Amino acid sequence: MIISVDDPVSKGSQRFEIFTGAGKRRDWPTEVKASIVAECFSGREGVSAVARRHGLDPSQVYGWRRDLRKQLEAEGVIIPPPKPEVATFVPAVIEPSVVTDPAPRRRRRRRATGAVVELEIDGVAVKIGQGADVGTIAAVIEALRAQR
């Protein structure tokens, strides 16, 4: 059901535009199309990046690729599928940062709030607090084993 008040046909045309010049539609020479499609197959950039650089929509470039593939297949030439990129890793280099403190700060000593490691070997219990280094812990374990 059409309401006569809202019918655009009965109102008539109120505004019209006249396009002069080429507008957005461009006629690309075959050589230029081929070079743009060749850039896509180089593997250095994706289709979207190539299209953006030439002021094109990626769907246009995909269409040109499809047309070229059909044309070559009709001539008996088969384009091999692109090789997938091999994942590469960048080596990580970690350098220790040397920060020189102009004025040494005085550190407050804290009381140990609890044991970090508790060992019990043959009825002997040892609690090792925070801040003990690996050498100290290993020496305590060896001493307890030797006393058996």
Does some domain include residue 100?
no
Which structural domain, as residue segments, surrounds residue 30?
Answer: 26-82
The per-residue pLDDT for range 110-121, each reduced to its tens digit, is 655 555 677 777
* Residue ranges in the chain assigned as alpha helix (H): 8-11, 30-41, 47-53, 58-74, 134-146
Its pTM surpasses 0.75? no
In a shared domain, residues 32 and 76: yes
Q: CA-CA distance, 128 to 118, in Å (whole number)?
A: 6
pLDDT at 52 over 80: yes
Q: How many residues does the chain have?
A: 148
Q: Final residue of a domain: which of 82, 104, 130? A: 82
CATH at residue 58? 1.10.10
Does some domain include residue 74?
yes
Does some domain include residue 42?
yes
Out of 80-94, 110-124, 127-141, the most confident range is 127-141
In a shared domain, residues 78 and 31: yes
The per-residue pLDDT for range 56-69, each reduced to its tens digit, is 999 999 999 999 88
Q: Final residue of a domain: which of 35, 64, 82? A: 82
pLDDT at 28 over 80: yes
Q: CA-CA distance, 76 to 100, in Å (whole number)?
A: 71
Q: CA-CA distance, 19 to 16, in Å (whole number)?
A: 10
Q: For the chain, what is the domain count?
A: 2
